[in-house]
Structure 1
Amino acid sequence: MHLGILTGGGDVPGLNSAIKAVVNHAHDRGWRVTGFRRGWAGPLATDPHDLEATAGARIALTPQTVRSINRFGGTMLHSSRTNPSRIRTSALQDFVKGKSPLEEEGYVDATQHVLSVLEALKIDVLIAIGGDDTLSYAARIHREGAKAMCIPKTMDNDVFGTDYCIGFSTCTTRSVEMINQLRSTAGSHERFLIVEMFGRNCGMTALSAGYLADADRTLIAEVPFDMQRLAELMTRDRATSPSNYAVAVVSEGASVVGEDVIERGEADAYGHRKLGGIGERIGVGLKKITGTNMMIQNLGYLLRSGPPDAVDLIVGKNFGTMTVQLIGEGKSGLMMAINEGHYATQPADISTKGEHRVNVDGMYDVENYRPNISKVHGTTMYLR
């Protein structure tokens, strides 16, 4: 058996734990593992007719090469936001074959090339680790005849079909630590502290961090907020604080009522522009209304960096282990998942069938902009 593996999209702590588990358990069975570098860019940089000349796009993975990688964050395979089904012609090597022109000028669908690479390398099953975008493409190549397995990761914990994705626990843990560390400066200067963090469409990371750090207010991507109302609430919070400060946590995808989500730069291969700036927008708005000085902190990449916590180590390791076990049973076309506290599987294309968002009715006070877990009994560990 010959397995392929890649990581796509943003890195998160815990990816290396999953990679190591796949490699070690495959090796125990006498199987080979090839890692594609830079996500889906790896197959695109491989010439199926001259594998040796393009060997730099891949790496042979053995227990020795992955021996210590689980101690570190990131992904030893590197990553990218590459979408072979919609890629600029100018970004392709001359050897890429099987291109299908799209209606959008200057773009092609290079899926046939990806399939030919997997065939040339004699890869029996490709394991894709990523979020919605990476996994949706893995599901596509599985439909087109290349066996694939999916492992969900995202700091937003928003892949549909699983209660948990690799990276979420470390992100939340680090967020709470940093919010609490920032309190001393906010209190010393009697300011409003605005903490911006990940959450494009799903506010789960902000909601969890705000809930666990006991932030005064939490603004999530699912619920636009009124600036005047926020100013009134924050002013009240500050006045009742012994240190005369108040804290608001905000998803990067949150927006003011009547305004668009703040985006910048060009769209990536999946049509997403970079988010960021809502913290600054809030700071300017609150300063104008209240006259109170601000501390604005975007946690950003600090939440991606560094080693995983114990939860992401164990989930990454078990997702990788389970993937190899299922392949050994002759299965493919599945996504690893946690459902109702148990390790489980879903169809590989489950991530395309729905959306994971904050349950606003059951978990959020839309009038007062704060978590409100109306019922804990019967919910999953991560309040899904």
Structure 2
Amino acid sequence: MRIGVLTGGGDVPGLNPCIRSIALSALDRGWEVIGFRRGWQGFLEIDPAERESVAAHSIVLDREAVRGIDRVGGTMLHTSRTDPRTVAGGDRTGHVLMVLDALGVDALITLGGDGTLRFSAHLSAQGFPVVSIPKTMDNDVFGTDYCIGFSTAITRSVDAINALRTTAESHERIAIVELFGRRSGETALLAGFLAQVDRTVIAEVPADPDVLLPLLAADRRSRPGAYAMCVISEGAKLAGDEAEDGDRRLSATRRSETAVSRRLALLIEQRAKEGTIVQQLAYLMRSGDPDALDRMVGFAFGGLAVQKIEAGETGRMLALRDGNYCHVPIDTLLGGTKTVDVDRLYDRARYRPKLTHVEGMPMFLY
């Protein structure tokens, strides 16, 4: 048995523990493991007839290759956001299948977010054995409560928010901290709650400056240190905001409008006459070593993926639901959009997370 592994989309801490777990679990069964570099893009660069192209875009994952990688963030296989169906020149699904066949790959394990896993489901629909593993610091893959990378992103965010308090207090300003999350406000909601900030603006609920600005000004005046803290999702909207929705779907470097955190800060300075500090955590949220939970989930998902292949149960996406490891049909993520349960977890009037019921709820409250 020869299995393939790839990582796609944005990197997150916890991918390397998962890769190591897959490799060691497969090697213990006497299987071979080949890692494909740079996600689906690596496949498009491979010509099986040219040994150099195979060597440049793949790597044999033996015990030495994965030694110690679990202690390091990012992905040793590198990554890309390529979807072979939408590249210049048309759909390259056939090329991907040809490469898998030519290299003798019997099954594929894919680690990725929404984009990577959508093509994984497409490949599975063509009849190739695939097991997919959800990872994204936004935690917004539909069908699972938890994705690899989410816990570390929250940990990084809480540490940074609390560290920024000293500067906000020193200058007696309102600090606006922007976190990743274009479609879902989960990272902002949970980081804001754990850091106990004054106000949290999430992607799901447009903020009314006429309500939010007086609240933040009052927060600053009520504290002896004369500062306030606000966390905001990058995909959040401000009432009356003229920014284009289409822009928010682009990467930060390709957007034409100013970030929402800066637009909010400008309103605060112009209308509330308060000084501000703006901090976009951006890629710092996904950088560095994985925390204990992302190591654990990475190891567990990796072992479970190999077990599913051994049992002949492919065409599945691994998941965590109500705190339990499980698996669902690989195309489950196509069936909906995962967002914050606003009515249960958020106070729209006060722009704050709310925790009204705890008993019976899963860890991370989702």
What whole-Å deviation, never above 9, does each CA across 1:283-342 have from its counterpart, x for those lacking one? Answer: 101100111111100011111110000000000000001111111112111111111111
* Equivalent residue for 1:114, pick from 84, 96, 118: 96
CA deviations over 1:157-187 (Å, ceiling 9, x no partner): 1111111100000000111111111101101
Task: Say if 1:262 and 1:354 are closer, same or farther in 2 by CA, change over 3 A.
Answer: closer
8 Å CA contact 1:2, 1:32 repeated in 2: yes
SS at match of 2:364: coil
Alignment-derived partner of residue 98 in structure 1: none
After superposition, what is the alpha-carbon deviation per residue over 1:37-75, rounded to whole angstroms, capped at 9, x for unaligned?
000001111113435543211111111111011111000
The alpha-carbon distance between structure 1 residues 291 and 347, as it changes in their structure 2 partners (threshold 3 A), is same
Distance in 1 (alpha carbons) for counterparts of 2:221 and 2:20 = 51
Structure 1 residues 214 and 275: alpha-carbon distance in aligned structure 2, compared to 1, 3 A threshold: farther
- Give 1:128's match in structure 2, choosing from 110, 114, 117: 110
Residue of 298, 301, 304 corresponding to 2:286: 304
Name the residue aligned to 2:12.
12
1:254 matched residue in structure 2: 236
**Matching residue's letter, 2:67:** R
Distance between the aligned counterparts of 1:275 and 1:83, measured in 2? Answer: 26
Equivalent residue letter for 1:2: R
- Sort the Cα spacing of 1:289 and 1:273 in 2 relative to 1 into closer, same or farther, 3 A: closer
State the identity %: 49
- The TM-score with structure 1 as length reference comes to 0.91
Where is the helix percentage greater, Structure 1 or Structure 2? 2
1:127-206 mapped onto 2 (5 Å cutoff)? 127-206=109-188
| Equivalent position to 2:338, from 336, 350, 356 | 356
Matches within 5 A, 1:233-244: 233-244=215-226
Residues matched between the structures, number: 363
2:61 corresponds to which residue?
A: 61
Q: Deviations over 1:207-235 (max 9, x none)?
A: 00000101100000001111121111001
The AA in structure 2 aligned to 1:110 is R
Measure the CA separation in 2 of the matches of 1:194 and 1:52.
49
The one-character-per-residue Cα deviations of 1:17-52 (angstroms, maximum 9, x if unpaired) are 000000011111111111110000011111134355
Partners of 1:253 and 1:275 within 8 A in 2: no
Aligned partner of 2:201 in structure 1 is 219
Q: Is the 8 A contact 2:205 2:348 kept in 1?
A: yes
SS of 2:237's equivalent? coil
> In structure 2, do the counterparts of structure 1 residues 13 and 275 end up closer, same or farther at CA, with 3 Å as the change threshold?
farther
What is the match of residue 26 of structure 1? 26
Verify the 8 A CA contact 1:40 1:80 in the aligned structure 2: yes
Q: In 1, distance between residues paired with 2:285 and 2:71?
A: 16
CA RMSD of aligned residues (A): 1.7
3-state secondary structure, aligned to 2:278: strand
**Residue aligned with 1:303, SS:** helix
Cα pair 1:262 1:275 within 8 Å, conserved:
no
**Could you say which residue in structure 1 is the equivalent of 2:48?**
48
Larger deviation: 224-233 or 42-51? 42-51
Q: Any gaps of 5 or more consecutive residues in structure 1?
A: 90-107
Using the alignment, how far apart are the partners of 2:83 and 2:303 within structure 1? Answer: 27
Alpha-carbon distance between aligned partners in 1 of 2:244 and 2:355, rounded to the nearest angstrom: 26
When the two structures are superposed, what TM-score results if normalisation uses the length of structure 2? 0.96
Q: Does 1:366 align with 2:348?
A: yes
Shift of 1:139: 0.7
Match status 1:329 vs 2:311 = yes
What is the alpha-carbon distance in structure 1 between the residues aligned to residue 57 and residue 235 of structure 2? Answer: 34
In the alignment, residue 353 of structure 1 is paired with which amino acid? Answer: G
Instruction: Report how far residue 374 of structure 1 moved.
Output: 2.7
Alpha carbons of structure 1 residues 354 and 263: separation in structure 2 relative to 1, 3 Å: closer
SS state at 1:109 partner:
coil
CA contact (8 A) 1:252 1:278 kept: yes
Task: Report the Cα distance in structure 2 between the residues aligned to 1:276 and 1:109, rounded to whole angstroms.
Answer: 34
